[in-house]
Amino acid sequence: MTAYYLSAIAILCLINISLRSLPFWLPKRLIEHPRMAVLSAYLPPAIMLSLVLYCFSGEFQKNEGVYPFLFASAFVVLLHTLKGNVLLSIAGGTLCYCLFKAWA
Amino acid sequence: MISSSIIGSARSKAGAFEAAKLTLPVFFAFFPLGIALGLLVHEYHLPVYMGFLMSFFIYAGSSEFVVASMLAASESLAEIAIAGLVINFRHIFYGLSVFDVIPKKGFKRFYSIATLSDETYALFLALRGEDRRYATLIAFLNHAYWFLSVTLGLILAKSFSLSFPGVEFCLPALFIVLTIEQYKSLKKISPFIFALASSLVAFLFFKEQFLVVSIALSSLLMLSIKPKGKK
């Protein structure tokens, strides 16, 4: 288990440093290619939504009620659209989910 | 001679202090999230040292939360690596726009590049002229805030054997909020449609490799878009 954990850390550390230093090595032509510009603008939002759906898919594969999860998610969306405060939305949603779990 | 060097050092101290003040918002953003990550590591029954190692060596916000959950689910190293690669892919674009801010050589250069997180990148963009001397200091302070916040979360969870059933929801909550923030700044719906369609395919046919398949398909869809204007 320890080897598994430590390998994961080493691999991710290497990936991050490579990604962060790549623009200093790669030819500018490649990095400034118009298709890379599309990727840099569109990829982050798509990844974020994929991460949300990844959490949902994990939740749907568990054999527990998904309602606390769905309810708390809707609460986060509502809170964030109304108030727009990142930390408030995360804390509020998590609290809502914890209460739901404790009560269910 | 002496007095001028004293004035010089006083001025540079003031400059360093001004630069450090820039990092305060990052502190307030990192503090609660770092504590959440510390609590999450405990909640997932990962060893305490993983909290330290992740915050120090990975140091890339949302990917650490994902890695923690993937490790807890004993996903394969290859999948964890691909997830890390796609989630942090955006970092590949950061170096270019802060080229002149990064120190020119030595360990400072390596450190400033290796710790170029979203928040450090944002502050680097704001550095002008003389202030660029403090780039490494800023990178270090942000890194330290993150490490110490995660440590505090770990201590809280461990020493009071605090357990928060449900604290794992901070992960989806973080992603939902960041998705909304992404929409607010981009104001385009197409990347979300790509992600939705790709995720549906992934959910139906590749449930085990959901994240990797979904993001890979989205990227392929995006590469099929014709960039505006010729070069």
pLDDT of chain B, 231 residues: tens digit per residue? 445 555 555 556 777 888 888 888 888 878 888 998 999 999 999 999 999 999 999 999 789 999 999 999 999 999 899 889 988 888 887 887 788 889 988 999 999 999 998 889 888 887 877 888 899 999 999 999 999 999 999 999 988 776 777 877 887 888 899 899 889 988 899 999 999 999 999 999 988 788 888 888 998 898 888 776 544
Residue A103: band (very low, low, confident or very high) from pLDDT cuts 50, 70, 90: confident
pTM above 0.80, yes or no: no
**What pLDDT sits at residue B194?**
94
**What pLDDT sits at residue A23?**
85
- Determine the Cα–Cα distance for residues A54 and B128; give it in Å rounded to an integer: 40
Using a CB–CB cutoff of 8 Å, tell me whether A78 touches chain B.
no
**CA–CA distances in Å: residue B44 to residues A22, A36, B66, B105, B220:** 33, 37, 12, 40, 34
**CA–CA distances in Å: residue B225 to residues A3, A15, A46:** 42, 27, 14
Using an 8 Å CB-CB cutoff, list chain B residues near A58.
69
Cβ atoms of A83 and A89 closer than 8 Å: yes
Using a CB–CB cutoff of 8 Å, tell me whether A74 touches chain B.
no
What are A31-57's pLDDT values in tens digits?
778 887 888 788 888 988 988 998 898
Across the interface, of B29, B199, B207, the residue whose CB is closest to A50 is B199
Buried b (16+ CB within 10 A) or exposed e, A37-60: bbbbbbbbbbbbbbbbbbbbbbbe
Across the interface, of B36, B113, B214, the residue whose CB is closest to A21 is B113
Using an 8 Å CB-CB cutoff, list chain B residues near A93.
169-170, 173, 176
> Is there a contact between A23 and B96 if contact means CB atoms under 8 Å apart?
yes
